[in-house]
Structure 1
């Protein structure tokens, strides 16, 4: 962050409070947004800094209003769209990723799944204004994989058969029930809360899209790996809850849902490989490269089960990038 931007943020923050405050960095994410924690006595708040020329606050504000009646999200206490600042309630510093160091997954994930079901069940009444996860957007995301992972990171020729694989993945996504999708529903964006767990953050990219997308984000998380048996148990748990809420019809078998889930995961993981490499080369955020290996692991676990992905399976096997 440039000093001038920090000075501007500090001045704006002081205008929101009548008492003395301390401002400390809270976190960064994979975008141009920055977060600061404001302290006074034993209380704290969060300021989101979203440079207007880089990030719009409009989507965050809109989605926050949609989600507020449903699940625990930060409360917007003050805003300045021209400057690009939001003052938010503080959901704490204990993300699921941190909490999982000392708590078992079975004490956390059922709450996350319950919140996910609640959000999805509200789709019909709450979807106003959310963009659709269109085939064009899905393809645009997939193209990050050849551009940044294959060509830029590994300096390899982009295979011609990729378009056919992309068609399979896009068809799978559009064939599913379409619901509210957070789009980054994973352990870094879920906050462990004593009450109304979890707190949910980083939801500004929400869309109407495939029902399996957020579950894949949660259970095949690039930052935290569930044992396969536990992952399957949580998948079954979600499936039964979704059927009870009539998000998935009784005619849909678990085998069909498993295919939705697996192929949706392939789409997301190919996108993530591209994004992590772009963050390194374009934005100088090289620490994301450490998470490439786990993302590749998920792909190599899933793709062999699907003959329609055989070229991708062979491609990943031939290059052995997972061993780097």
Structure 2
């Protein structure tokens, strides 16, 4: 913790100590994530804010402006996101309200899963109802393609050192094109882009708390539901996932969201969106290991590969991909 940014952070917090009644000596690591951001927790004697969160986002690595913009956008949608209490954008520091330390991943059990997932789905529908075009970046074909390219570049070539021939490359490209075509044909909403058990917080009021939304875009309506129900960090029985999918689909239809009127079409969109996401994740998890020195995500690869394999096996269009994925086991 003895680094130049921590020193600068301490000076900034020192200027906030009196108005926010901060206990500067209580500053301690809260969490880190897959990006360059890190978070600290600090105590306060303010009645409404017994603890606060401090974000440190090095400005030479990433801007905090997207976080600020999306936090305000999601707050306007009445979602439970951290309040921005103080900011120093040039330095990359934020003082935030604390949504607690218990993630869905920490809290989920077979006994409470139905309640928690229904609350998360209800919040997701609320977010999607607030959607407007031309506010967030578009989840366009170029972005979808760049994400898919992470799979061959990092997972196949770098991690597995797999050389594939021109026919396999063409087959993979054809599968990617099918996925992108389907993804772009779906109706568009605000997309959190990492709406899953590690970014949803158990909250005594207005659950769930929602974190890590700075990469939000305007894109396919099934994306966040796929993130939630085919989570890279926790797996549920297929029948439970189907129940929650139906709950989302029926709720979305009731409030006028543009989901397919036929559940079979919706299910296919969900699966194909999930396949795009899981191929991307395989590349990202490996890249985090080799490029960023974060190897903790490697243990989650088998589940992600399992999801991708299952979907590829269910659709004749993805038979070449299914054969490729089967060879990776």
Shorter-chain TM-score: which interval? over 0.9
- Which of 171, 184, 190 is the equivalent residue of 2:181? 171
- Which of 146, 154, 165 is the equivalent residue of 2:152? 146
Aligned residues: 317
- Which of 268, 271, 277 is the equivalent residue of 1:262? 271
User: What does residue range 1-324 of structure 1 map to in structure 2 within 5 Å?
Assistant: 3-18=3-18, 19=21, 20-21=23-24, 22-40=26-44, 43-70=50-77, 71-101=79-109, 104-124=112-132, 127-158=133-164, 159-160=168-169, 161-248=171-258, 252-320=261-329
Cα distance in 2, alignment partners of residues 318 and 185 from structure 1: 30
Q: Deviations over 1:225-273 (max 9, x none)?
A: 1111100000011000111111125x62000000100000000000000
Q: Deviations over 1:183-229 (max 9, x none)?
A: 00000000011111101010000000000000000000011111111
Structure 2: segments with no counterpart, 5+ residues: none
Cα distance in 2, alignment partners of residues 59 and 128 from structure 1: 15
Write out the 4+ residue segments of structure 1 that deviate beyond 3 Å after TM superposition: none
Cα distance in 2, alignment partners of residues 39 and 148 from structure 1: 41
Q: Offset of 1:129 from its aligned partner?
A: 2.5
Cα distance in 2, alignment partners of residues 69 and 138 from structure 1: 28
Q: Deviations over 1:112-154 (max 9, x none)?
A: 0000000001113xx5531000000000000000000000000
Cα distance in 2, alignment partners of residues 99 and 69 from structure 1: 27
Gap change, CA 1:33 and 1:173, over 3 Å in 2: same
* SS of alignment partner, residue 40 of structure 2: strand
- TM-score w.r.t. the length of structure 1 is 0.95
Cα distance in 1, alignment partners of residues 257 and 200 from structure 2: 22
Q: Deviations over 1:80-102 (max 9, x none)?
A: 01100000000000110111148
Q: Which one is further off, 271-280 or 9-18? A: 9-18
* SS of alignment partner, residue 309 of structure 2: helix
* SS of alignment partner, residue 76 of structure 2: coil
Cα distance in 2, alignment partners of residues 281 and 114 from structure 1: 37
Q: CA RMSD in A?
A: 1.4
Cα distance in 1, alignment partners of residues 2 and 147 from structure 2: 30
Q: Deviations over 1:139-173 (max 9, x none)?
A: 00000000000000000014312111110110110
Cα distance in 2, alignment partners of residues 319 and 292 from structure 1: 12
Gap change, CA 1:5 and 1:216, over 3 Å in 2: same
